[in-house]
Amino acid sequence: MSEQLIVPTMAEMMAEGKTPDILFWVGSAGSYDDRAKKITKAFVKILNKANVNFAVLGTEESATGDLAKRSGNEFLFQMQAIMNIEVLNGYEVKKIVTCDPHSFNCLKNEYPGLGGKYEVLHHTQFIKELINTKQLEIKDSDYKGKRITFHDPCYLGRANSEYEAPRDVLNTLNATLLEMKRSKSTALCCGAGGAQMFKEPEKGDKDINELRTEDALKTNPDIIATGCPYCMTMMSDGVKVKEKENEIKVMDVAELIASSQNL
Amino acid sequence: MNYLPNILFAIVLIAGIGFFAKNVQKLFRNIKLGKDKEINDNKPQRWKNMAMIALGQSKMVKRPVSGFFHIIVYVGFVIINIEVLEIIIDGLFGTHRIGHQVLPESLYGFLIGTFEILATLVFIAVVIFWIRRNVIKLKRFMSAEMKGWPKNDGNFILYFEMVLMTLFLVMNATDSSFQAANSGNVISQFISPLFGDNLETLHIIERGAWWLHITGILVFLNYLYYSKHLHILLAFPNTYFGKLTPKGQFPNNDVVTKEVMLMMDPDADPYAAPAEDATDEPPAKFGASDVQDLSWLNLLNAYSCTECGRCTSECPANLTGKKLSPRKIMMDTRDRLEEVGKNIDANKGVFVDDGRQLLNDYITPEELWACTSCNACVEACPISIDPLNIIMEMRSYLVMEESAAPMELNNMMTNIENNGAPWPYNQMDRLNWKDE
């Protein structure tokens, strides 16, 4: 790594008497999954580049409980939620950004009823905001003219009706944005949602990520873009199954922005 | 003796409507077997949804071909039914085409002409629907859950509509005074010659068609309760009560919140005697294993489903050959609800345990665990049905009451409990990525 990432924690900030403008919720995948960690770092590079006054919870962060809830374990979900809300409210957090649409959905929609009311943004929404307010300048990139297709994460798209932010951000790269036949509100799930990521699929004739990868391949892309660490795993595996990993990259929107600006 | 037809008509009408009313009552009772759920927020938005989605068919046209023909049948059905008003007045008072007598000639002609054109269009649309189901055999009509009664039901409805439209046109074609007036007989004038010009024969056919038409409508009305066709009525309340919050927002269980709050409260005394006002009610069951555990809205959803299969045709699990079909979830819920309803009827108003339930006897865990919670089914439904909510309620039952999650998910949840992450990593390593 050429440059050290600046990642202050809430505890450090508080000790110094500072208040961050926004909390970056890293999420479990972003913290531990090797591929997702790269997305986390790419996003931090963007935050650093744009001089965003942010902090993370670090070791005080715990799973949102989203996975437990989708698995049917409401009890575990609420235990996690209430624990996290105590921490978040303790730090008087007002605004949260996360790279994980599942955390995004859970924090935004399911925490308020349990006492956790925050403004919650998906990182593509936040990056769009940074670009719009000129805090982040997008200069000419290597992605100019590249064929990029965006796979809508269910929990960003259908679940929260955000289809434009990731596309708006991708459009700043001057790439050719291609739409799959099933996209936006009719996008096909990557197969990871509802805790499927953590179990073997039921008996069927195909894996869902394979079918979704076929959708993507039909657009003949150079890059499949996503905005979710779980979609990332599923689509990367799908591309490998199709033996296309040498020609087609699967990248998060944040990674595309960061690498386009040589961050 | 002259009043015989009038009396006969009144009897048929009262019997038809009375029987229907009885079934509507049963419908309400069955829906109310579901758990209470208060829905009275944001009424303007709810009316708007009903106007757009049910009345305006906004989601039907997402699939242009079926959407287009559906609108023809829908508009035709609603408008042609104005004619029923005239039929009822004629039937009760022994008049003949009362509209023709009281309305200006041109207006009556315009109305009947419109009905005739619509009847013809409906007939064509219905034939196309029949071809889609029986000749082209569209995939979504051929799924496993569509065998037997559901398939026949779909076709019966189409035959009914073909017959009713034909009877309406024949009735007009053989009405010699109506044909003689030559106003509004835009379609029937071409059918009229087929029946010859013997006035007596024409009159008999006309009366026959008239009686069959109105009896057919009444029979069809009563068929609804037994059929997927209930959607023509229930689509309206169903879209009104449909979910307004983001699709990704799953409701939080208040009972669980109370328990968790109590657990986390450092001042709570775990050995404390129950509060004075505590009742002896058994603790609430978590999730749903049978229809009574679902909300009334889930049950209304089940009765509203017309088994079009748009949900299933968008479901990632179903598309990849898994057993899960959101349409089947709705059909099973309705079938079980009907079974419970019949049980109550047979046992003088009380449900007697029949050793069966929605879970396992209708819906298997294999189906429930195949769901990715992606909301594709919810998005696809043209009338705001939410199969995902039922799936999640049933998963909740499996996990919280039976501890019957797939092993890998149990491991994942144990990890969350112990380390605050779905993987067995130490929470103290959560920020390690920063320096890697």
CATH at A194? 3.40.50
The residue of chain B with its CA nearest to that of A28 is B421
Residue B197: predicted pLDDT: 86
Do both A161 and A115 map to the same domain? Answer: no
A161/B430 Cβ within 8 A: no
Give residue A216's domain range: 138-260
Chain B nearest C-alpha distance from A157 (Å): 9
Cβ-based neighbours of B435, under 8 Å, separated by 6 or more: none
Which amino acid appears at position B391 of this protein? I
Contact at 8 Å (CB) between A232 and A36? yes
pLDDT digits (tens, 9 = 90+) for A114-131: 999 999 999 999 999 999
Do both A76 and A148 map to the same domain? Answer: no
The CATH code of the domain that includes A125 is 1.20.1050
Does residue A89 form part of some domain?
A: yes
Nearest to B416 among A58, A76, A212 (CB): A76
Q: Let me know how long chain A is.
A: 263
Write out chain A residues lying below 8 Å of B384, CB-based.
Answer: none
Contact at 8 Å (CB) between B150 and B222? no
Do both A121 and A143 map to the same domain? Answer: no
Mind listing the pLDDT tens digit of every residue in chain B (436 residues)?
578 889 999 999 999 999 999 999 999 999 999 999 999 999 999 999 999 999 999 999 999 999 999 999 999 999 988 899 999 999 999 899 999 999 998 999 999 999 999 999 999 999 999 999 999 999 999 999 999 999 999 999 999 999 999 999 999 999 999 999 888 999 999 999 999 889 999 999 999 999 999 999 999 999 999 999 999 999 999 999 999 999 999 999 999 999 898 888 777 776 766 555 555 566 678 999 999 999 999 999 999 999 999 999 999 999 999 999 999 999 999 999 999 999 999 999 999 999 999 999 999 999 999 999 999 999 999 999 999 999 999 999 999 999 999 999 999 999 999 999 999 999 999 999 999 8
Where does a domain end: A86, A110, A130? A130
Does residue A19 form part of some domain?
A: yes
Q: Which of B414, B430, B436 should one mutate to test binding to chain A, selecting the residue with the greatest count of A CBs within 10 A?
A: B430
A110/B405 Cβ within 8 A: no
pTM of the model as a whole: 0.94
- Residue A40 and residue A27: Cα distance in Å, rounded? 9
pLDDT digits (tens, 9 = 90+) for A22-51: 999 999 999 999 999 999 999 999 999 999
Nearest to A79 among B260, B392, B405 (CB): B260
Does residue A2 form part of some domain?
A: no
Contact at 8 Å (CB) between B160 and B215? no
Portion of chain A with pLDDT greater than 70, in percent: 99
Residue B266: predicted pLDDT: 77
Do both A92 and A181 map to the same domain? Answer: no
Q: Which of B262, B408, B416 should one mutate to test binding to chain A, selecting the residue with the greatest count of A CBs within 10 A?
A: B416
Total domains present in chain A? 2
Do both A163 and A250 map to the same domain? Answer: yes
Do both A124 and A142 map to the same domain? Answer: no
pLDDT digits (tens, 9 = 90+) for A139-163: 888 898 999 999 999 999 999 999 9
Which amino acid appears at position A194 of this protein? G
Q: How many CB atoms lie within 10 A of CB B233?
A: 16
Do both A64 and A164 map to the same domain? Answer: no
Do both A113 and A162 map to the same domain? Answer: no
Do both A245 and A145 map to the same domain? Answer: yes
- How is residue B236 written in tokens? 């309206």
A-facing residues of B in 239-278 (CB < 8 A) are 245-250, 252-253, 256-257, 259-261, 263-264
Do both A143 and A255 map to the same domain? Answer: yes
- How is residue B321 written in tokens? 């050959």
Residue ranges of the alpha helices (H) in A99-157? 101-105, 123-132
β-strand pairing of A119-122 with A95-98: parallel
Chain A nearest C-alpha distance from B73 (Å): 26
Do both A184 and A209 map to the same domain? Answer: yes
Provide the β-strand partners of residue A96: A23, A120
Chain B nearest C-alpha distance from A25 (Å): 11
Do both A143 and A251 map to the same domain? Answer: yes
- Residue B60 and residue B54: Cα distance in Å, rounded? 9
Where does a domain end: A104, A130, A156? A130
The residue of chain A with its CA nearest to that of B319 is A208
- Residue A253 and residue A225: Cα distance in Å, rounded? 6
Give Cα separations from B313 to B132, B141, B210, B232, B305 (angstroms).
15, 10, 41, 22, 15
**ipTM, two decimals:** 0.95
Does residue A213 form part of some domain?
A: yes
β-strand pairing of A22-25 with A95-98: parallel
Residue A1: predicted pLDDT: 45
Class of the CATH domain delimited by B254-263+284-423: mainly alpha
Among candidate residues B347, B311, B345, B351, the one with its CA nearest the CA of residue B331: B311
Does residue A4 form part of some domain?
A: no
Where does a domain end: A76, A108, A130? A130
As a dihedral over the C-alpha atoms of residue B122, residue B126, residue B128, residue B131, rounded to 10 degrees, the angle is: -170
